[in-house]
Amino acid sequence: MKKYTPEFPEAAQIEQELQREKYRKRYRRILRSTVYALVVTAAFAVLVATLWMPVLQIYGTSMTPTLTDGDIVVSLKGSSFDAGDVVGFYYGNKLLVKRCIAGPGDWVDITSDGDVFVNGNLLKEPYLTEKALGECDMELPYQVPENKWFLMGDHRSTSIDSRSSTVGCVETEQIVGKIVFRVWPFKSFGNVK
């Protein structure tokens, strides 16, 4: 099939202009659909991060060696936690990360050597590198009030947590979620235990 070549140069220019205009329309349509797709994807990511899986950055050393300053973690929203779970919670205007030690109604006792007993049973804590009583100004043994959680940092000698009346036990509504995954730094990428 032969291509039509007009005899008039003006007709060739008109044909070229028509081709350019078609290309512009197609380019605009593709660009618009790409921008819409990016906006929808970003909105979905924000919804997921806000409603179901908040992304948090760790500040401070109270969870060393499990989590260190600057780590970025993903949490999973929910209201059921077990002893040993690492959770993020709001304290004032700050977001803190600590480990669940005991739940509502449990009895907590801590020895001067840092051994933690929950309901009379010694807690197995393989995530600790050192045990310490730390800053504790509460009367032990202590019963955790209803709808509250007793939380402690893994760096027991420096962590300010439920052992201190400054923080105390944390209400379930204050807890953002269970920390499940570390995404930064890449060398420590994986589940948080």
Active site residues: 62, 98
How buried is residue 184: exposed, middle or buried, by Cβ count under 10 Å (0-12/13-18/19+)? middle
Tell me the two tokens of residue 12: 């060739």
CA distances from 85 to 117, 156, 173, 187 (A): 16, 16, 16, 22
Q: 151: which strand partners?
A: 100
Per-residue exposure over 49-65, b if at least 16 CB sit within 10 Å of its own CB, e if not: eeeeebebebebebbbe
- Type of residue at 165: S
CB neighbours of residue 81 within 10 Å? 18
